[in-house]
């Protein structure tokens, strides 16, 4: 018998699944190529789900359902709320682009987007190895289909094939690692795994062997070196609306499962996985920033930028436990800074790709850096939004990206370890190098002659959302305290259960 708490723990997921099925059925009778009715129904559903998740998160309650297989806590509910809002913004930006390219003829975009969001929810709520893996597969299978949605486009089809092959390999890594941990601990429940590992009665070599594969699977989802090879090709080859969908909300889910698996389940092995994360972070900061300099394609440049940004998230995740000792203050500072970083990254990415989608028109993708030439003369507002996003990614004050980087570096330095201090210095140097390719795009927008004299027009909903999105990047940089406190409280509540 399933109790009321079980239903309460997954109520937003049930709403999302039911409405995804309803939208798929309703869409069969829609003949408009712009799918206005389906779009409105999708946005209303996402708005309801976002409100539900916000209410759940604000209550601060933590409860488990379905035999402890799923958990509803403040961290998970806030991440799901942010992911839902990110999906709404993605669909607002992406709908005109998709309509111009015939991607709305079958209506799959909205249904697959909702199923991808459902996969994100399941990943975030998972308190069991099997549930996390099911959520991961639902997200990735939906993502493969979305990348290949333009069936007549050879580049998108090629990107989908690469994504499918490499994604299958990464899923195999994660599943193999989880199976090793299950074999060693005898449980799929994350709480029970923690107790078994913490008992010290399991051979350390077996646990570390499984841990290596788990970290490899997580590294693929975060897109960090050396598991980054799919990101530049998929970002460039996928339709830009789908690129934004892949590069936005799923990063929140990847962060959540990193916390669930590494912190909630494998914290006694922190010394081992922190060293692995350090190597991944160094490689990501180095490769991401240096490779981005050589790019002329804007989407590909932002792909390498993503790799370097995720390196900072790893720095936050690896600085919570000091020499194997768990300190409550250090844990709160480190993991809340990582959560703040990933949320601010998603916010900035939404606005940056929103401008790219806005400039794209039928038969023209506007994905080369040169395509932004003279944008300030054509539209000072959109050039300003793009500049704010690029400055934020570069970590220039007073934007949210600066505070995100600062909070991660503070957590890293506060550990008091010499090699953490060296890592912080390395991260700063890499950020200075990375500023070059962001500033290059700003230079093109403000100082190069425009390729066309036509003004930039956009639907009213896109214009309003993009303006608010860009303003938030600035406001949250000037007043970061509220979001940072929210992240800290969510982390404390999640780890105290």
pLDDT at 427: 93
The whole-number average pLDDT for the span 289-296 is 91
pLDDT at 280: 94
Average pLDDT over residues 257-265: 90
Helix extents (H) in 226-327? 230-237, 240-247, 249-258, 270-293, 298-317
Helix axis angle, 481-495 relative to 328-359, nearest 10°?
Answer: 130
93 or 322, greater pLDDT: 93
CA angle 377, 363, 140 (to 5 degrees): 105
Quickly state the pLDDT bin for 203 (edges 50, 70, 90): confident
Predicted local distance difference test score (pLDDT) of residue 4: 52
Highest mean pLDDT, choosing among 51-60, 418-427, 437-446: 437-446
Distances (CA, A) of 299 to 50, 303, 411: 29, 6, 31
pLDDT band at 443 (very low <50, low <70, confident <90, very high): very high
**Residue that the structure tokens 């990943």 belong to:** 123
Per-residue pLDDT, averaged over 57-70, amounts to 85
Q: Give the bridge partners for 364, in sequence order.
A: 361
Q: Dihedrals φ, ψ of 427, to 5°?
A: -65, -40
Closest CA to 315 of 245, 394, 444, 408: 408
Tokens representing 330 are 């250090």
Q: Which of 245, 209, 128, 219 has its CA nearest to residue 166?
A: 219
Closest CA to 431 of 314, 285, 298: 285
128-171 pLDDT per residue, tens: 999 999 999 999 999 999 998 887 788 888 888 888 888 888 88
- Residue 60: pLDDT above 90? no
How far is it, in rounded angstroms, from Cα 278 to Cα 426?
12
Q: Is the pLDDT of residue 3 over 60?
A: no
CA dist 357 and 196 (Å) reads 49
pLDDT score for 420 = 82
User: In this structure, are residues 302 and 287 in contact, taking their beta carbons and an 8 Å threshold?
Assistant: no
Paired tokens of 448 = 């190069």
Half-sphere exposure of residue 268: CA atoms within 13 angstroms, side-chain side: 18
Residues 304-341 have pLDDT tens digits of: 999 999 999 999 888 877 665 666 677 788 899 999 99
Return the pLDDT at 451: 74
pLDDT of amino acid 323? 64
Judged on CB neighbours under 10 Å (0-12, 13-18, 19+), 152 is exposed
What is the pLDDT averaged over residues 374-388? 89
Say how far apart CA 198 and CA 185 lie, in whole Å: 10
Q: What is the pLDDT of residue 392?
A: 94
- How far apart (Å, rounded) are the C-alpha atoms in residues 407 and 315? 11
Q: What is this structure's pTM?
A: 0.93
The HSE-up count of residue 409 (CA atoms within 13 Å, CB side) is 17
3-state secondary structure of 103: coil
- Torsional sign, CA 282, 425, 492, 245: negative
Query: Taking a C-beta distance cutoff of 8 angstroms, is the pair 129, 182 a contact?
Result: yes
Contact status, residue 12 vs residue 82, Cβ threshold 8 Å = no
Q: What are the domain boundaries of the chain? A: 4-496
Contacts (Cβ under 8 Å, ≥6 apart) of 118: 13, 16, 17, 20, 138
31-54: average pLDDT: 83
Please state, in angstroms and rounded to a whole number, the distance separating the CA atoms of residues 237 and 158: 7
Residue carrying structure tokens 């350090």? 278
Q: What percent of the chain has pLDDT over 70?
A: 95
Mean pLDDT computed over every residue of the chain: 87
Rounded Cα distance, 397 and 413, in Å: 20
| β-sheet bridge partners, residue 325 | 322
Lowest mean pLDDT: which of 5-9, 23-27, 31-35, 347-351? 31-35
Least confident residue range of 109-118, 193-202, 320-329:
320-329
For the ranges 105-119, 147-161, 259-273, 448-462, the lowest mean pLDDT is seen at: 448-462
SS (H, E, C) 190-249: HHHHHHHHHCCCCCHHHHHHHHHHHHHHHHHHHCCCCCCCHHHHHHHHCCHHHHHHHHCH
Query: 213 pLDDT exceeds 50?
Result: yes
489 contacts 119 by C-beta, under 8 angstroms: no
Q: What is the pLDDT of residue 2?
A: 45
User: So what's the pLDDT on residue 326?
Assistant: 65
The closest alpha carbon to 174, from 199, 145, 140, belongs to 140
């Amino acid at each position: 018998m399933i109790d009321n708490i079980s239903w309460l723990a997954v109520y937003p997921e049930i709403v999302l699944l039911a409405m995804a099925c309803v939208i798929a059925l309703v869409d069969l009778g829609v003949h408009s190529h712009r799918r206005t009715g389906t779009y409105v129904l999708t946005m209303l559903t996402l708005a309801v789900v976002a409100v539900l998740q916000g209410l759940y998160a604000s209550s601060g309650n933590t409860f488990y359902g379905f035999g402890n297989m799923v958990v509803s806590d403040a961290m998970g509910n806030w991440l799901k709320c942010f992911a839902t809002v990110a999906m709404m913004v993605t669909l607002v930006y992406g709908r005109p682009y998709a309509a111009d390219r015939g991607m709305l003829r079958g209506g799959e975009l909205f249904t697959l987007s909702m199923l991808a969001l459902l996969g994100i929810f399941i990943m975030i709520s998972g308190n069991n190895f099997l549930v996390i893996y099911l959520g991961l597969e639902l997200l990735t299978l939906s993502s493969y289909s979305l990348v290949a949605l333009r069936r007549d486009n050879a580049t998108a089809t090629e990107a989908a094939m690469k994504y499918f092959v490499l994604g299958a390999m990464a899923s195999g890594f994660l599943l193999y690692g989880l199976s090793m941990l299950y074999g060693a601990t005898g449980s799929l429940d994350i709480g029970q795994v923690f107790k078994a590992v913490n008992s010290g009665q399991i051979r350390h070599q077996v646990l570390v062997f499984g841990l290596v594969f788990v970290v490899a699977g997580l590294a693929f989802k975060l897109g960090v070196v050396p598991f980054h090879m799919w990101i530049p090709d998929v970002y460039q080859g996928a339709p830009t609306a789908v690129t934004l969908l892949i590069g936005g909300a799923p990063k929140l889910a990847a962060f959540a499962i990193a916390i669930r698996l590494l912190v909630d389940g494998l914290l006694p092995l922190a010394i081992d996985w922190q060293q692995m994360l350090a190597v991944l972070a160094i490689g990501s900061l180095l490769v991401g920033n240096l490779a981005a300099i050589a790019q002329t394609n804007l989407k590909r440049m932002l792909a390498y930028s993503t790799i370097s940004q995720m390196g900072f998230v790893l720095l936050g995740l690896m600085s919570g436990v000091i020499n194997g000792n768990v300190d409550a203050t250090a844990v709160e500072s480190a993991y809340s800074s990582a959560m703040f970083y990933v949320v601010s990254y998603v916010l900035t990415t939404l606005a940056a790709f929103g401008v790219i989608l806005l400039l794209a028109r039928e038969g023209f993708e506007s994905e080369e850096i040169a395509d932004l030439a003279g944008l300030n003369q054509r539209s000072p507002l959109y050039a300003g939004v793009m500049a704010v996003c690029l400055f934020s990614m570069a970590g220039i004050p007073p934007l949210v990206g600066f505070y995100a980087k600062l909070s991660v570096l503070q957590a890293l330095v506060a550990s008091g370890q010499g090699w953490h201090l060296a890592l912080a210095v390395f991260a700063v140097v890499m950020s200075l190098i990375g500023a070059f390719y962001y500033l290059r795009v700003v230079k093109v927008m403000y100082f190069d002659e425009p390729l066309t004299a036509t003004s930039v027009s956009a639907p009213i909903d896109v214009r309003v959302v993009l303006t608010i999105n860009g303003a938030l990047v600035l406001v949250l940089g000037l007043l970061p305290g509220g979001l940072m406190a929210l992240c800290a409280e969510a982390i404390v509540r999640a780890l105290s259960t």
